[in-house]
Structure 1
Amino acid sequence: MRMLFLDLDSTSPDHLGCYGYHRNTSPNIDRIAAEGVRFTNYYTSDAPCAPSRTALMSGKFGIVNGLVGHGGTAGDMKLEGTERELMGKLTRGGSLPSYLGLAADMNTALISPFAQRHSTFHFYAGFNEILNTGRYGNESAEHVTPVALDWVKRNASQDNWFLYINYWDPHTPYRAPMEFGNPFESEPLPEWLTEEVLDRHKQMVGSHCVHELHIDHRGKKYTNETSPNFPRHPGEIQSMDDMRRMIDGYDCGIRYMDDHLGRLFAALEEQGVMDELIIIISADHGENMGQLGIYGEHATADQGTCRIPMIIRWPGMKKGVVDEGLHYHLDLLPTLAEMLDSPAVPDWHGESYAPALKEGADCGRDYLVVSQCAHVVQRSVRFKDWIYIRSYHDGFHLFDEEMLYNLAEDPKEQHNLAAERRDICFEAVYYLNEWHDGMMRRNSDAVDPLWTVMKEGGPFHAKGYLRKYMDRLKETGRGHLVPELVRRHPGEFPTEPSNVLASLQAKIGAKMAGK
């Protein structure tokens, strides 16, 4: 058995041809989709990058594995504690690659810099061979493909291997070489992105809104700066020409990557293994391209960020099938276990959807709960036609505490119906509480890392940014938004004790001194 897993960072299904996109961004991906099963309601349980891949590799939700953010305590997995054995659980079949190695005797290989990018070295657990492409996730396809082609040339004809390849081109900022050109320059933008929508988005605030598409992590600033190294990526979107530059930049990244996937598939055909090869194509998260007024970022627990592509071509199984059930990305682990006729690891949180591959059967969940704690702090419930988003920290976007969108009628999340449909919100909160109770029962230390993030000052990509952002808002005519940001985030502005509190403290001090 041979298996290829393609992890296409920041790839939104909305921008792939096989998911209905009007531009020809993904002919090679589309070909694989036509030969297998395409999942339309597939979600990462935890966004963005590090939480998503940690949940996938461990088979556990972030609320249990502990890694839900990009910094602070919640930037690391929880320790196994006193019950840890000589080899930890990730080595003993608890991770995706270690399970495949033990259950199916597969040689497991990884081509990715991801562990180094986020210091998530548990990501390596179970891989026999690790090839770091060396640019901390800033590589383009021309840096990845030669490494992949060399591996294929040396190993493809052997039996029983699992190869995981990470491509980065759709990740902001958009880096397809300029000599690649722009195959979409004369094609229309998505119909929903109109002047009216842009005008509405100009009233919004926060990182990666139309006014600030760049985060300066060293300077702790949200800015409209651009870089000559990334000419496809604008610093702001103030006109429809800017909008075109943004959308074309993202789509060129996907198409450039897809062209390289075509080279990889051709090499596998030359090795004579393509026909029997299991191919899995997915992503760590999607990319907001206007959803919630955010562009070129994966910063929320919403449809744009958390819905991801999933395509599985398994020779001998269903072909040309579209599965519309609700699934988590971590459901892949028990699915592979069932497909391999091997027992699943008991403490995985996923549910197998192998019947979808074998029979085309509907085996989706009733609802999903997805989380984001790196840019904002949100938990969301995806059920029926709805997504309900609850914000604990808005990342300075001034989101409503509750947001509700009917995805059948409003797939780009432009009209919040929470005030109108309290009945649907109540149903969503019931699901959220039910999920939370179940997860906390499985939580060895009974600590929800979402609240760890909050207690440590908020999400990594917002913590410490507000003071300088207030200055920018005043400089750009948006100073009227500052009081509300200050009201919502008083923790960003530590103050001296009030006169009343100071007086009480003085009296306590005097009594302690015996005066």
Structure 2
Amino acid sequence: MRILYIDVDSLRPDHLGCYGYHRETSPNIDEIAADGRRFTNVYASDAPCLPSRTAFYTGRFGIHTGVINHGGLNADPRRHGPARGERYPRRFRTLATILGEQGLDTAMISPFPARHDAWQVVEGFDELYDTGGNGSERADEVYPYAHDWLNEHAAEDDWYLHANFWDPHTEYTTPLEYGHPFADDPAPDWPTEDVIECHYQGTGAQSAQDLCSWGDKRDAPRMPPDVASREDFETMVDGYDVGVHYMDHHVGKLFDLLRDAGVFEDTLVVVSADHGENLGELNVYGDHQTADEPTCNVPLIVRGPGIEPGVDDEFRYQLDLPPTLVDLIGGDVPEGWDGRSFTGSVTGGETDDRSGRERLVLSQGTWTCQRAVRWDDWLLIKTYHDAFKSDLEDLMLFDLAHDPHETTNLADEHPDVVRDGLSTLQQWVDDRLLEAARGERGGNPGAENAVTDPMWQVLRGKGPYYTWDALEDYAEHLRRTGRDEHATALLERHG
């Protein structure tokens, strides 16, 4: 089998045409979605980049690998301890390793492993091509690597190519000569001027006033220095959407290469993302800092031989995809993976009740420290570290069917729902740590701190990576910009 996995950093589903977006941002991806299977409720179990891709390629939750941060102890997987032999036990092998054991040649085109020293992500790959921009490269800089690889290998049997695009990631570096494809298309209606005005008085990195980290100003043609008005927001969301369109244009060129080689119909094409992107939700503009819907919900489109077209609305983790791919090539899924194959859905159009998840638990430990529970129309978020954000409360409950942008916290109005969600969260943590203690599922009893919740390790250490050593300088920045009350409250909470 030939598999082309297109991994688009910071791509939220609702900015793709095939997911109902009013702008034509993704004609090439929409085309394969029309002939393939589109999944609406797939979530990164652990966000953002390093935790997400670690979970995907190891098939294991961050609570089992220990990777939930971008720095410190919890940016590396737990060591396997005295039980480690010359090679890791098969139950801890990565997706690429398993694909290789099944006879597939594997290649990755991405700067990500070097950007985050993510050795666990590249384990098992035969070839790795670093596109050299540390995540700032445009699609026209990524495409030549994929072009050359496919020109040489597309017609061969049994390969897996991971191609990583970054164009929807800030700072939206699509060349200015590409123009503005959406000049005549209105921007999304939300956030309104009133919401932006409120957000502008709030705090946190990538909040409306502090759009660049802890108070710096961006100097990027397709991004405003801050979001003080609807006009600023429209500039920003246009930059994001043009980035999606530019990426899609080059993805279409990859499809053309497969057609030219005569293998497009015989290639399994998968389009997904490491995480989504907040575009104003919870006062985060153009970043992925929370365990909420915009950050954790990712697109998933699968198209190719044997795939039943249609839509799947079941709740699924993104780490359920690796065992599905292994199933599709006739391999055996390692018993140590947390993922649950949904092969029955992609091949037969039938949802296997055992493959769907009734509830999902989502994690963030890199900007904020949060865990969330997603079920029915509800999203419950528990915040352990707020990353100096005034808009985050300790407990937040949102009805996503009526409030998709998470504007109204219903926790006080629905105490029974909150208790239900907190009970789910506690049971999930207990079950995962018990698996670690017993060596079941993704658990690894031989590793040091194997039954320690990594969330507590992050909190006991220096905290989420991007808040390290930022408190005092940011409090002073808040005072300089007329937000003294926030500076005082911030120091009281964290000082």
Give me the TM-score of the superposition, normalised by structure 2. Answer: 0.95
When the two structures are aligned, how many residues end up with a matched partner?
479
In structure 2, distance between residues paired with 1:13 and 1:317: 20
How much is the aligned-residue C-alpha RMSD, in angstroms?
1.2
* Contact in 1 for aligned 2:9/2:165 (Cα 8 Å): yes
8 A Cα contact 2:201 2:209, kept in partner = no
Name the structure 1 match of 2:475.
Answer: 470
Measured in 1, the distance between the counterparts of 2:413 and 2:349 equals: 37
Tell me the amino acid that sits aligned with residue 68 of structure 1.
I
Contact 2:103/2:158 (8 A) holds in 1: yes
Check conservation: 2:92, 2:337, Cα contact below 8 A: no
1:76-91 equivalences under 5 Å are 76-89=76-89
CA contact (8 A) 2:366 2:466 kept: yes
Residue of structure 1 in register with 2:442 after alignment: none
Deviation at 1:352, TM superposition (A): 1.3
2:249 to 259, 265, 285: 259
The one-letter amino acid paired with 1:95 is T
Aligned to 1:390, the other structure's residue is in SS state strand
Letter in 2 for 1:341: G
Report which stretch shifted further, 36-45 or 338-347. 338-347
- State the partner residue of 1:100: 99
- Are 2:58 and 2:92, in contact at CA under 8 Å, matched by a contact in 1? no
The answer for the alignment partner of 2:463 in structure 1 is 458
Q: Which runs of 4 or more aligned residues in structure 1 lie more than 6 Å from their structure 2 counterparts after TM superposition?
A: none
| Match of residue 415, structure 1, among 379, 385, 408 | 408
Residue of structure 1 equivalent to 2:313? 324
Match of 2:347 in 1: 358
The reply to whether residue 194 of structure 1 matches residue 198 of structure 2 is no
Please state how far the C-alpha of 1:203 moved relative to its aligned partner.
Answer: 3.2
Q: Which residue of 2 aligns with 1:223?
A: 215
Residue matched to 1:42: 42
Change (3 A) 1:316 1:433: same
Q: Which residue of 2 aligns with 1:374?
A: 366
Is contact 1:224-1:236 (8 Å) kept?
no
Alpha-carbon separation, structure 1, partners of 2:153 and 2:344? 31
**Which position in structure 1 is the counterpart of 2:385?**
393
8 Å CA contact 1:93–1:99 kept in 2: the answer is: no
Letter in 1 for 2:313: E
Deviation at 1:470, TM superposition (A): 1.1
Are 1:433 and 2:431 counterparts? no
In structure 2, distance between residues paired with 1:474 and 1:168: 35
Structure 1 residue 93 displacement after superposition:
7.2
How high is the TM-score relative to the length of structure 1?
0.91
Give the secondary-structure state (helix, strand or coil) at the position aligned to 2:466.
coil
Relative to structure 1, the CA distance from residue 425 to residue 128 in structure 2 (aligned partners, 3 Å threshold; closer, same or farther) is same
CA–CA separation in structure 2 for the residues paired with 1:101 and 1:278: 17
| Matched residue SS, 1:322 | strand
- Once the two structures are TM-superposed, the CA of residue 71 in structure 1 deviates from its matched residue by 0.4
Q: Does 1:8 align with 2:8?
A: yes
Who is 2:267 aligned against?
277
**CA separation in 2, counterparts of 1:342 and 1:71?**
34
Give the Å deviation of 1:69. 0.2
Counterpart Cα distance in 2 of 1:206 and 1:450: 21
Going from structure 1 to structure 2, the CA distance change for 1:428 and 1:93 (only over 3 Å counts) comes to closer
Task: Assess if the C-alpha contact under 8 Å between 1:68 and 1:450 holds in 2.
Answer: yes
Q: Which amino acid aligns with 1:401?
A: D
Deviation, structure 1 residue 224: 4.2
Distance 1:485 1:356 in 2: 48
CA contact (8 A) 1:50 1:70 kept: yes
Q: What letter corresponds to residue 96 of structure 1 in structure 2? A: L
Q: Report the alpha carbon displacement of residue 343 of structure 1 after superposing the two structures with TM.
A: 2.3
**In structure 2, distance between residues paired with 1:333 and 1:141:** 25
Deviation readout 1:452-471 (Å, 9 max, x if unpaired)? 11011211111211111111
The aligned residue for residue 172 of structure 1 is: 170
Whose Rg is larger?
1
Counterpart-to-counterpart distance in 2, 1:373 and 1:33 = 32
Aligned counterparts of 1:359 and 1:268: Cα–Cα separation in 2: 25
Give the secondary-structure state (helix, strand or coil) at the position aligned to 1:54. helix
Which residue, 482, 490, 503 being the options, matches 2:487?
482
Q: Distance in 2 between matches of 1:417 and 1:107?
A: 50
Shift of 1:89: 4.0
Percent identical pairs in the alignment equals 43
After superposition, residues 28-39 of structure 1 pair within 5 angstroms as 28-39=28-39
1:339 Cα deviation (Å)? 2.3
User: How far apart, CA to CA, are the structure 2 residues paired with 1:69 and 1:150?
Assistant: 34
The letter of the residue matching 1:474 is: R
Match among 327, 330, 336 for residue 341 of structure 1: 330
Partner amino acid for 1:315?
A: P
Q: Distance in 2 between matches of 1:360 and 1:39?
A: 12
Q: Report the alpha carbon displacement of residue 231 of structure 1 after superposing the two structures with TM.
A: 1.2
Within 1, Cα distance between the matches of 2:384 and 2:52?
Answer: 19
